[in-house]
Structure 1
Amino acid sequence: MKKWSSKGSQISSEEYGRGDVDWELRPGGMIVQKRHVGSGSDSNSERFITIKVSHGSYRHQITVDSHSTFGDLKTVLRRQTGLETREQRLLFKGKEKENDEWLHMAGVNDMSKLILMEDPATKERKLEEMKKKNTLAAGEALAEIRAEVDKLSEKVAAVEGGVSGGKRVEEKEVNLLTELLMMQLLKLDAIETDIDSKLQRRTQVVRVQKLVDTLDNLKARISNPLNQTTKKIVSSATAKWEAFDSGFGSLIPPTSKLTISSTKITHDWELFD
C-alpha cells in the first residue's frame, strides 16, 4: 500500500504504520508527517506566518499555518469580515487564487500582502435585497406617519371649529399640536425613499405643512381676540351700509333739476314822484 505526501514522495504502508513516526491531517485532507518543535528550521515559530489582507478600507493581519490553503485562509477571514467563503475572492500578486491552492506553493510568506474582494454577483444580490428591505421599511414608516397625521388633522379641525364658534381655546393646546406635527416632519425627512415612495412622502410633507399654517393662523386669532371682534363689527356695519345705500332710505339725496325763471331787464325806468 502506497500513500502520497505533500511533496509527492511515496510513503510505504510499513512506514505509515510505524510507531515512531507521527502523522497529521492537513486542512486540505492530506496526511503528512507531523513536525515537532525544536527540529531545526521546522520549528513551531517558523511554521506559522502572518498575512496582511486588505479589504476595502479595512486591514487585517491573519496568522495561519504556512502550509494552509487559500480555502483555509478564507475560513479564517469569514470570522473577521462576515463574508462567506463563497463570497470571497483572494488576489495575490494580481491573480485570483483558488481554494485548493497552497499558500507556500503560491509564494505566500510571512507578512505577504493579499487583497480580499467581495464577489460581484453576491454584492449585487445583497444590494437588491437591501433595496427591497428598505422599500418595505419605508412603506411601513409612511403608513404609520399617515395614520398619525390623520389623528392630528382631526384635532386641528376641532380646534379651528372651536375658535370660529367663539369657544375659548388655550394657546398651549395649539402649540402642542404644532410640535407634534413638526415631529412628523422630522420622521418624514429621515425616511430613505426610492422613486415609488418619494411621491407619497412629498404628499404627507405638504399636508403637514398646511396643518401647521392653519395652527399659526389660529394662534394669531387666539392672541388677538379684540382684533377679531372689531373685524366682525366692521364687516357687519359695512354690509348694512351697503344694503341701505342701494335701496330705500339712502342718505344721498336724489339729484333734482331746479327751474329758474329768468327776468327780463329793460332800460325803461319808471320815475317815481
Structure 2
Amino acid sequence: MILMKKSKKSKPKAPPQQIEPTIDWEVRPGGMLVQKRLFGSDPGCDDTAPIINIKVSHDSFHHHISLPSTSSFGDLKEVLARETNLETKDQRLLFRGKEKGDEERLDMAGVKDMSKVILLEDPASKERKLVNKSNDRVYLQAYDAVMKVRSEVDKLSHKVVAMETSFKKGVKNLEKEVEVLTELLMKELLKLDGIEAEGEAKAQRRVEVRRVQGYVDILDNLKMLARASHMNERVVPAVSVTTKWQTFDSGVGSLNAPNDIRMSTKITSDWEQFE
C-alpha cells in the first residue's frame, strides 16, 4: 500500500494595500474649488500638454507668456498680474474678439502657439485709479500749502523770540512792534484756515495752527506787560499842600479869624438929647 503525503494548502496572499494619493485643492480665480494643478507635475494635464507661447497685447506693451496649452485663462491672468502689476480682478482677456472666462481652457478656446490675446483693464479699475490720482494731487497741494505757511511762521518765530529777549533786557516801548508782528501771524492763521486737507496734511495743518496761536499768546502777554510798565513810568506833577495861611490885618482872607481880634464897640450911658 502506498501512502500519500498530505500537502498543506497555502493560504492566498492578501493583495497589497494601495495608498491613495493625497489631493491638494485650490480656489480658482472664479471662486471654484478644484484640484491643484502644478505645471509640469500633473499627470492628467501638464506632463503631456505642449507648452505654447502667447503674445499678450496690453496698451502699447507686448508680453510673451509661456504656459501649458491646458492652462486656463485664469492661469494666464495670474502670470500677467506679476508682469503688469494689474490685479487679476481688474483684467479682461479677449481672444478672437470675445472676452474669456477664468475657467475656460486655452486649448479649448483655440489658443495655439504664438496666438495673440488682448489684455484690457476693467473700466471700474481705471476710474478708481483716476479718483486715487486726483485725491493724491489734492493731498500734495494741501501739504505744500501747509509747508509754505510753516516756512513763513519760522521766520516770524525768530522775531517773536528776539522781541521777548528785548523786553527782558529792559526795552519797554514795544507796543507798536508787537501789533505789527501779531497782524502778520494772524494772516498766516487765515491762510491755514483756508486750506482743505485730509490725512497727514490735515494733521500738519493742525500743528501749525496751534503753533501760530502760541506765538500770538506770547505777543499779547508782552503787549500787556509793556503797557503796564509804561503806565508806571508816567511822571505825575507833585502838589504841595501847606497849612500856613497868610493873615491880613482885617482878618479877611483867612479861614480862621486872628486870635487877637477884640470887640471895639464901647457901651456908654451918655445919651444925646434932641429938642
TM over 0.5: no
Which has the larger share of helix?
A: 1
Q: TM-score, normalised by structure 1?
A: 0.41
Q: Highest CA radius of gyration, 1 or 2? A: 2
